[in-house]
Chains A and B, each alone.
Chain A
């Protein structure tokens, strides 16, 4: 079946730097994408989403970029803080209301 995957399993950054977490998806029928953050010992938490009719969406300190041509999704975190340390998952949705989760990237922020 089709899948969602991530390029980098672990990303280490210095506090204050910008972070970019990448995700490749293969289901061309997917029309909705979501980023989740999972802190240690907790369930995933919704961060931001984007629909396929957009290529960029901004939130508070986060930006999601969507490139449908190459089936690529990224999450940019500005001025990364120690509290941003977590595992980040991208997820995609096609015809159902149930997201399919990618592998996850562990973001480590060094003070």
Chain B
């Protein structure tokens, strides 16, 4: 298993500002992901954070809006840029294991953002 720490756990932000969420894992992991979970909804994958290279974004998500860094195998950041109320959501960091093609993802507690 992996222990994932995210911060901030929650924040209230003003429209037009940007916020960076940090994700720290207690062990080196190959696969690291960022998900968004809008209120009462399921999880939507934003991007895969690749160590040493640009993140791989899913359809509907772009680097200018959600820049991601992954400087090493235990840490990643997600920035939500130029926020609007529609960005109010929970953002979840997740890590996975490719051993045996498992889908056993481990999630952080999430960062709950409210944009006014």
Residues of A within 8 A of B (CB): 32, 34, 41-46, 49, 89, 91, 93, 97-104
B42 proximity list for chain A (CB < 8 A): 89, 101-104
* Other-chain residue from A45, A46, A93, A98 in contact with B48 (beta carbon distance below 8 A): A98
Residues of B within 8 A of A (CB): 4, 31, 33, 41-45, 48, 92, 94, 96, 98, 101-110
Chain B: CB-nearest residue to A51: B101
A-B contact count (CB 8 A): 51
Query: Max chain B CB contacts within 10 Å: which of A32, A43, A89, A103?
Result: A43
The answer to whether B101 and A101 have CB atoms under 8 Å apart is no
Q: Among B45, B104, B110, point to the contact of A98 (Cβ < 8 A).
A: B45
**CA A73 – CA B94 in complex, angstroms?**
24
Cα distance A69–B16 when bound, in Å?
Answer: 49
